[in-house]
């Protein structure tokens, strides 16, 4: 790499990206292209001779950006957010610039040591029990996604139990969660070889606001034990994907521990809110947990990917995931003096992801991060109030964080028609390109999800989004 050429081109790229952010509101939030659009615009094969960066940038402007859905737009209210920030961006840039592969301590000591330290910092911000910090048997690690986090802890739990009850007992192992748990748990069960009929997704409903009732869990465990099965793993969620339900951790944790199960907490989205003292109670009960996960890349100003996993006993992960081939042996690892994160994850290679989180924590500080979360929650509250006074709409479940679940619900409308109406409304709203929202289904009801969570969203964007929703609803209702 030629340093001067890098300097010149990187300046151009930063200018390009800064202009992108300056003009981000001029793009349709949801890309409006048709499948296969890009093949028609690009040549059939790669160039034989080098092209100029300017040519590539022109193509990005004309051909790539139309096919981008703008997750950083202030008018983006879909799924859960995936934050970018100046600090996160700079950290990511630095990581790409240095481009190390830090699978063992020796391959870049700073990468491992910074990760240990930064996960301890954030663990303290979240007031995690001491056992999750690196001084004792526990510690934190950055995974790519929450899906990888739940997979590695499930593998650790599986192997721990198989060690106890015998390797031939795989078919007897049972995993529990609610039917609101993210689908990544089911995928993890499949990969871990848990029999599909032993992955219990226990029923929730509106009577518990879609949180997992402890008595439902107890009953399921008792039944399984009576049938000769072995309960090994409970995944509770703080902030479910559909409606941000918070499972009752203290009661669930007690049941899990009473049955000697692994207790995992998935707080992929809502974990960020728990750095605010007024939301910390959402993870009360974490004392009983074996592992805890939150995605800093969702709602914590840290660019994708950065999923944080803490465990109380790192040896459980290492027992399950370590490998020690001759070609990776080194003095520090052999001497047991260091953390080798390759043994806490699925792949061998790993990026220097702690840099961006470190930069986010340092360049914003806890006060600003708390303020950031609170502001989004206030904006969601504001949106909820707007919905509540329009009698054509209803709020479907109480709001807890920055997600509002609601639907258009004209009086005397029947169930099927109401579902169709909301499907049509979502299509209409997203087709305007002015905002982007997503949906879910709860107890058979098709529901619109409005999540406030991008760094650029202000009250005026929320008001404008509500105006789009009201206009499209008026048009639709006029048609029926
Ligand atoms: N858990 C919850 C509660 C989620 O909402 C999501 C995604 O939105 C996930 C897990 C999966 O996240 P990832 O894409 O990091 O695997």
What is the model's pTM? 0.97
**Residue 347 belongs to a domain with what CATH number?**
3.40.640.10
Element containing residue 308 per DSSP (H, E): strand 307-311
Q: How confident is the model at residue 413 (pLDDT cuts 50, 70, 90)?
A: confident
Query: Which domain does 253 fall in, by range?
Result: 101-351
Q: Is the CB of 295 under 6 A from ligand 1?
A: yes
Give the whole-angstrom CA distance, residue 361 versus residue 122.
Answer: 8
Q: Which residue is closest in CA terms to ligand 1's atom 12?
A: 146
Question: What pLDDT score was predicted for residue 193?
Answer: 97
474: number of CA atoms within 13 Å, CB side? 7
Query: E strands, 119-261, where?
Result: 139-143, 173-178, 199-202, 230-237
Q: What is the phi/psi pair of residue 179, to 5°?
A: -70, -5
Query: E strands, 345-444, where?
Result: 393-397, 403-408, 438-442
Give the whole-angstrom CA distance, residue 314 versus residue 258.
Answer: 22
For residues 375-399, average pLDDT: 97
Distance, CA 431 to ligand 1 centroid (Å)?
Answer: 26
Asked if the structure places residue 94 within a domain, the reply is: no
Q: How confident is the model at residue 7 (pLDDT cuts 50, 70, 90)?
A: very high
- How many Å separate Cα 475 from the centre of its chain? 35
Question: What pLDDT score was predicted for residue 3?
Answer: 95
Asked if the structure places residue 252 within a domain, the reply is: yes
Asked if the structure places residue 440 within a domain, the reply is: no
For residues 344-370, average pLDDT: 98
Asked if the structure places residue 373 within a domain, the reply is: no
Distance, CA 467 to ligand 1 centroid (Å)?
Answer: 30
Question: What pLDDT score was predicted for residue 172?
Answer: 97
Q: How confident is the model at residue 480 (pLDDT cuts 50, 70, 90)?
A: low
Asked if the structure places residue 321 within a domain, the reply is: yes
Give the whole-angstrom CA distance, residue 132 versus residue 121.
Answer: 11
Asked if the structure places residue 173 within a domain, the reply is: yes
Give the whole-angstrom CA distance, residue 112 versus residue 115.
Answer: 5
pLDDT averaged over every residue in the chain: 97
Distance, CA 240 to ligand 1 centroid (Å)?
Answer: 9
Give the whole-angstrom CA distance, residue 66 versus residue 26.
Answer: 11
Question: What pLDDT score was predicted for residue 1?
Answer: 76
Q: Which residue is closest in CA terms to ligand 1's atom 5?
A: 241
Q: Which of 77, 103, 81 is nearest to 338 (CA)?
A: 103
What's the domain count of the chain?
A: 1
Structure tokens at 404: 């509002």
What ipTM goes with this model? 0.98
Give the whole-angstrom CA distance, residue 245 versus residue 205.
Answer: 11
**Whether the Cβ atoms of residue 201 and residue 191 lie closer than 8 Å to each other:** no
Element containing residue 138 per DSSP (H, E): none
Q: How confident is the model at residue 232 (pLDDT cuts 50, 70, 90)?
A: very high
Asked if the structure places residue 480 within a domain, the reply is: no
For residues 274-287, average pLDDT: 98
Q: What is the phi/psi pair of residue 312, to 5°?
A: -80, -30
Atom of ligand 1 nearest to the CA of 149: 16
Query: Cis peptide before 305, with omega less than 30 degrees from 0?
Result: yes
Ligand 1 pocket mutation, candidates 147, 187, 268, criterion most atoms within 8 A of CB: 268
Bridge partners for 264 per DSSP: 235, 291
For residues 17-27, average pLDDT: 98
Give the residue ranges of DSSP H helices in 166-293.
Answer: 184-192, 214-226, 249-258
User: Higher pLDDT residue, 348 or 413?
Assistant: 348
Q: How confident is the model at residue 478 (pLDDT cuts 50, 70, 90)?
A: confident
For residues 154-180, average pLDDT: 96
Asked if the structure places residue 337 within a domain, the reply is: yes
């Amino acid at each position: 790499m030629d340093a001067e050429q890098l300097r010149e081109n990187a300046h151009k790229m930063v200018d390009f990206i800064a202009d992108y952010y300056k003009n981000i509101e001029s793009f349709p939030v949801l890309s409006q292209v048709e499948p296969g659009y890009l093949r028609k615009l690009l040549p059939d094969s790669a160039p034989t001779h080098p092209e100029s960066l300017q040519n590539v940038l022109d193509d990005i402007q004309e051909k790539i950006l139309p096919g981008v859905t703008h997750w950083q737009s202030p008018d983006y209210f879909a799924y859960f957010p995936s934050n970018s920030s100046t600090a996160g961006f700079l950290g990511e840039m630095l990581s790409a610039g240095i481009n190390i592969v830090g699978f063992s301590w020796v391959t870049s000591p700073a990468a491992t040591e910074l990760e240990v330290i930064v996960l301890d910092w954030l663990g303290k911000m979240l007031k995690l029990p001491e056992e999750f910090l690196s001084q004792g048997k526990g510690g934190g690690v950055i995974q790519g996604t929450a899906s990888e986090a739940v997979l590695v802890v499930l593998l650790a739990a599986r192997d721990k139990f198989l060690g106890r009850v015998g390797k031939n007992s795989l078919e007897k192992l049972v995993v529990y969660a609610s039917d609101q748990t993210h689908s990544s748990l089911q995928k993890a069960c499949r990969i871990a070889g848990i029999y599909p009929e032993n992955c219990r997704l226990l029923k929730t409903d509106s009577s518990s606001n879609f949180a997992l009732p402890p008595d439902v869990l107890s009953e399921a465990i008792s039944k399984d034990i009576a049938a000769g099965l072995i309960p090994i793993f409970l995944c509770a969620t703080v902030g479910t994907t559909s409606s941000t339900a918070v499972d009752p951790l203290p009661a669930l944790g007690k049941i899990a521990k009473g049955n000697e199960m692994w207790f995992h907490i998935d707080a992929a989205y809502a974990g960020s809110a728990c750095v605010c003292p007024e939301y910390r109670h959402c993870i009360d009960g974490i004392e009983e947990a074996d592992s805890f996960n939150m995605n800093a890349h969702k709602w914590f100003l840290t660019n994708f990917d950065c999923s944080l996993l803490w465990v109380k006993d790192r040896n459980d992960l290492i027992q399950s995931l370590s490998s020690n081939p001759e070609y990776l042996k080194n003095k520090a690892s052999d001497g047991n003096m260091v953390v080798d994160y390759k043994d806490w994850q699925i792949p061998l290679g790993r990026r220097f992801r702690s840099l961006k989180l470190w930069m986010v924590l340092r360049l914003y500080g806890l006060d600003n991060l708390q303020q950031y979360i609170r502001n989004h929650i206030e904006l969601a509250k504001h949106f909820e109030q707007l919905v509540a006074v329009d009698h054509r709409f209803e709020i479907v479940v109480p709001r807890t964080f920055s997600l509002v679940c609601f639907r258009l619900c004209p009086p005397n409308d029947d169930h099927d028609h109401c579902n169709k109406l909301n499907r049509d409304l979502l299509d209409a709203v997203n087709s305007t390109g002015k905002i982007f929202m997503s949906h879910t289904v709860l107890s058979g009801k098709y529901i619109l999800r409005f999540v406030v969570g991008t760094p650029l969203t202000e009250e005026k964007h929320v008001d404008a989004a509500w105006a789009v929703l009201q206009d499209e609803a008026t048009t639709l209702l006029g048609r029926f």
